[in-house]
């Protein structure tokens, strides 16, 4: 069993490996968490998620951009793959459930992928439908997974036209479900006009808006 | 349609801008090959598949809304993933407005090694583009050559997500892809110059993957900017004079290094998204014609009154720009823009866009 000091040292090193997008080191440190008898749940929360929170700050301050974010996510996932099998069921109490996808007619999924990464890092259960997702599929999958929130992404002015129809269909099926929208052509004004519950200008903001929506 | 006091033809209006003279009124130009199809009751895929129908749809839209085709901006001459052997299909259905990439030609590092250079006269949609070019030539319009920047083409050959990761982890692969994109662009451009004559060609370039919504200004400076410099060396060597650069999306952080030594011949048309302030653009690029930048999503979703007011305030900002100004949407005119909203832009120019004689 590692001492508290040693534990903190390892967790800090995991954070640094995520921030420094060092996949190999992150994987190795997460293996050492298990060897040293450190609680894997604590390593996820304070190490990996803590690292990704710092990444979010660097993104907000325009020190990190999409390339860095993607590599930080790879490092996080490398560590998570080591720790996940060792998490207890009671550790899996998640912040919320999110269904996410790029709307029909659109294959641009880098923004959606970043949003998914930030939600996963923040401890949400994420159901990712991919890109070019038909309206009916959003409705079916929301019912199946009973998610708190549905996040819709579009990069094209053509494909964003599917959003009000998806929102209408989701609300008709489940008036309680909250819908978050984002993507380059979207704005707060358009989100409101489309009947969305919230608009997020980027991946970091999306997590905050979602947390606000479910209180 | 003619505006109420037209004193110039469309060609004279654009020529006057290229000679740093005030035209009769602020010209209007749009990137609208797909909108024009929908406007003429045609499916969007016509913009990619039928040069005759697409050309006449663009001509009708230009006349209907008093657009100056400066130049007539058509779909891409260089079709990125498709040219390099990717699986790409035409847009279908209600919500698709562009080509859909089913699989990228480069999926792994080894694919970069094996990437074959396309033959310029047989590549992608070159036959369709050439037919459209012949129609432009026959109607006395400049023959447009439309491509994206080498950085953007390269990112669309392997997928933007992969490209972003390689920028940091395997920059040599990005360099190889950008070199291939650059060489291919100029192979096609040389073919274009041989076919139509360099003096007739108007080159249009856009650079969406260089946006700061994706990369940092440092990454722009390191990877993308050198190819802009090379691009214009080669353009000059080919004898091509007219250049339209759509600086797509949020690129405020890239502007200082781009403005440090703008490599194109002045004036060029520099078009900006609504994310870039027109006054900032004019200060950075005083020798160029600034074009923009009404937010496309508002043209699609707003009311005619809202679009009219936005066009009016954009004109107010742009009309006095010393290097010249063209009113336009901040990116491609959305396919589903209501006709009244598009007309609201024309009406704003008619009401507020005139210069004194």
In a domain, B72, yes or no: yes
Chosen CATH of A4-91 out of 3.30.1490.20, 3.30.450.40, 1.10.1240.10, 3.10.180.10:
1.10.1240.10
pLDDT per position as a tens digit, B83-108: 999 999 999 988 999 999 999 999 99
Whether B168 sits inside 8 A of A160 (CB atoms) is no
Please, where in chain A does CATH 1.10.1240.10 lie?
4-91
B73 within some domain: yes
Question: Structure tokens of B244?
Answer: 């339209």
pLDDT tens string A143-181: 999 999 999 999 999 999 999 999 999 999 999 999 999
Q: Which residues of B112-138 are buried (b: 16+ CB within 10 A; e: fewer)?
A: beebeebebeebbbbebbbebbebbee
Range of the domain at B240: 10-352
What pLDDT sits at residue A181?
97
CA–CA dist A17, A23 (Å, integer): 7
**Nearest residue, CB atoms, A158 vs list B161, B167, B336:** B336
Instruction: List the single residue in A66, A132, A161 with the smallest CB-CB distance to B214.
Output: A66
Average pLDDT over residues B338-355: 97
CB contact under 8 A, B213 and A66: yes
Q: Is residue B112 over pLDDT 80?
A: yes
- Chain A hits for B335, Cβ within 8 Å: 157-158
Within a domain: residue B136?
yes
Q: Give the total number of structural domains in chain B.
A: 1
Over range B336-345, report the average pLDDT.
Answer: 97
Which chain B residue has its CA at the smallest distance from A185's CA? Answer: B297
Residue B107 in 3-state DSSP? coil
Residues from chain A that touch B300, judged by Cβ atoms under 8 A, are: 157, 161, 185
Check if B251 contacts A (Cβ < 8 Å).
no
Q: Of A1 and B157, which is predicted with more confidence?
A: B157
In a domain, B4, yes or no: no
pLDDT of residue B314: 98
Separation in Å, CA A28 to CA A87, B2, B24: 17, 71, 69
Cα–Cα distance measured from residue A110 to residue A16, given in angstroms and rounded to the nearest whole number:
24
Q: Is the pLDDT of residue B2 over 80?
A: no
**Has residue B357 been placed in a domain?**
no
Is 3.30.342.10 the CATH number for A94-213? no
Provide the H-helix boundaries in chain A: 4-19, 23-35, 40-42, 50-60, 66-83, 110-121, 135-145, 162-173, 188-194, 203-213
B318, B26 Cβ separation under 8 angstroms:
yes
Of A66, A105, A185, Cβ closest to residue B96: A105
Q: B15-23 long-range contacts, Cβ below 8 Å, gap at least 24?
A: B17/B70, B17/B267, B17/B289, B17/B324, B17/B326, B18/B242, B18/B267, B18/B289, B20/B267, B20/B323, B20/B324, B22/B324, B22/B355, B23/B355
Pairwise CA distance, residues B90 & B102, whole Å: 10
Assign A131 a pLDDT band (cuts: 50, 70, 90). Answer: very high
Average pLDDT, chain B: 95
Q: How many CB pairs under 8 A join A and B?
A: 91
Cα B108 to Cα B144: distance, rounded to the nearest angstrom:
34
* Cβ-Cβ contacts under 8 Å, A193 against chain B: 301
pLDDT exceeds 70 at position B9: yes
Task: State the pLDDT at residue A93.
Answer: 59
Residue A89 has pLDDT above 70, yes or no: no
Whether pLDDT at B59 is above 90: yes
pLDDT at B133: 97
Residues of B in contact with A66 (CB under 8 A): 164, 213-215
The mean pLDDT value for B139-155 works out to 97
Instruction: State the pLDDT at residue A37.
Output: 95
Instruction: Tell me which residues of chain A have a C-beta less than 8 Å from any C-beta of chain B.
Output: 21, 62, 64-68, 70-71, 74, 103-110, 113, 132, 156-162, 184-187, 190, 193
In a domain, B2, yes or no: no
Question: Is B94 within 8 Å of A162 when comparing Cβ atoms?
Answer: yes
pLDDT computed for residue B5 by the predictor: 81
pLDDT score at A91: 62
- CATH code where residue B268 lies: 3.20.20.210
The alpha carbon of residue B250 is apart from the nearest alpha carbon of chain A, in Å, by 10
Question: B166-201, pLDDT tens digit by residue?
Answer: 999 999 999 999 999 999 999 999 999 999 999 999
Q: What is the mean pLDDT of residues B5-33?
A: 95
What average pLDDT does the segment B118-139 reach? 95
Q: What is the structure's pLDDT at A81? A: 94
What is the residue whose two structure tokens read 């720009």? B321
Residue written as tokens 């094996």? B114
CATH 3.40.50.280 in chain A, residues? 94-213
Task: Please check whether residue B228 lies inside any domain of the structure.
Answer: yes
Nearest to B297 among A21, A68, A185 (CB): A185
- CA B200, CA B202: separation in Å to the nearest integer? 7
Question: What is the pLDDT, as a whole number, of residue A92?
Answer: 59
- Residue A33's closest CA among A20, A15, A54? A15
- Which pLDDT value is given to residue B129? 95
């Amino acid at each position: 069993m590692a001492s508290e000091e040693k534990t903190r040292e390892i967790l800090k090193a995991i954070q640094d490996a995520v921030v420094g997008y060092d996949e190999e080191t992150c994987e190795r440190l997460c293996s050492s968490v298990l060897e040293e008898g450190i609680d894997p749940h604590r390593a996820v929360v304070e190490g990996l998620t803590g690292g990704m929170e710092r990444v979010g700050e660097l993104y907000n301050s325009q020190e990190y951009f999409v390339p860095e974010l993607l590599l930080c996510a790879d490092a996080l996932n490398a560590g998570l793959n080591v720790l996940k099998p060792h998490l207890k069921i009671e550790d899996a109490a998640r912040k919320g459930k999110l269904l996410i996808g790029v709307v029909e007619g659109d294959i641009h999924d880098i923004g959606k992928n970043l949003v998914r990464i930030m939600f996963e890092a923040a401890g949400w259960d994420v159901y990712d439908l991919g890109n070019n997702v038909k309206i009916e599929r959003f409705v079916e999958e929301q019912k199946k997974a009973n998610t708190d929130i549905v996040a819709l992404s579009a990069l094209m002015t053509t494909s964003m036209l599917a959003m009000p129809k998806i929102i209408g269909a989701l609300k008709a099926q489940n008036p309680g479900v909250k819908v978050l929208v984002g993507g380059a052509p979207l704005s707060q004004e358009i989100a409101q006009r489309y009947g969305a519950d919230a608009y997020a200008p980027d991946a970091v903001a999306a997590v905050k808006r979602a947390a606000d929506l479910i209180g | 349609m003619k505006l109420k006091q037209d004193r110039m033809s469309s060609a004279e209006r654009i020529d006057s801008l290229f000679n740093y003279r005030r035209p009769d009124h602020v010209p209007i130009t749009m990137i609208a090959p797909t909108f024009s199809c929908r406007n003429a009751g045609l499916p969007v895929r016509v913009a990619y598949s039928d040069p005759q129908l697409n050309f006449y749809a663009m001509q009708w839209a230009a006349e209907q809304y008093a657009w100056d085709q400066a130049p007539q901006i058509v779909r891409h001459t260089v079709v990125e993933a498709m040219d390099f052997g990717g699986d790409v299909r035409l847009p279908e259905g209600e919500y698709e407005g562009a080509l859909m990439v089913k699989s990228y030609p480069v999926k792994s590092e080894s694919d970069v090694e094996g990437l074959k250079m396309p033959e310029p006269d047989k590549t992608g949609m070159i036959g369709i583009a050439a037919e459209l070019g012949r129609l432009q030539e026959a109607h006395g319009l400049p023959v447009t050559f439309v491509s994206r920047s080498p950085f953007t083409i390269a990112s669309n050959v392997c997928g933007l997500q992969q490209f972003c990761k390689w920028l940091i982890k395997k920059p040599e692969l990005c360099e190889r892809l950008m070199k291939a994109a650059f060489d291919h662009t100029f192979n096609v451009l040389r073919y274009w110059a041989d076919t139509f004559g360099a003096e007739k060609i108007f080159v249009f370039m856009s650079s969406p993957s260089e946006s700061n919504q994706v990369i940092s200004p440092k990454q722009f400076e390191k990877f993308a900017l050198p190819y802009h410099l090379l691009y214009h060396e080669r353009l000059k060597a080919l004898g091509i004079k007219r250049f339209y650069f759509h600086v797509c999306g949020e690129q405020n952080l890239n502007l200082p290094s781009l403005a440090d030594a703008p490599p194109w011949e002045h004036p060029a048309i520099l078009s900006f998204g609504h994310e870039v302030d027109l006054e900032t653009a004019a200060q950075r690029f005083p020798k160029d014609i600034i074009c923009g930048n009404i937010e496309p999503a508002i043209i699609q979703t707003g009311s005619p009154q809202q679009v009219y007011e936005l066009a009016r305030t954009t004109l107010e900002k742009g009309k006095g720009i010393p290097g010249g100004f063209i009113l336009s949407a901040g990116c491609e005119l959305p396919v589903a823009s209501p006709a009244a909203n598009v007309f609201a832009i024309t009406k704003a120019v008619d009401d507020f866009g005139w210069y004194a004689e």
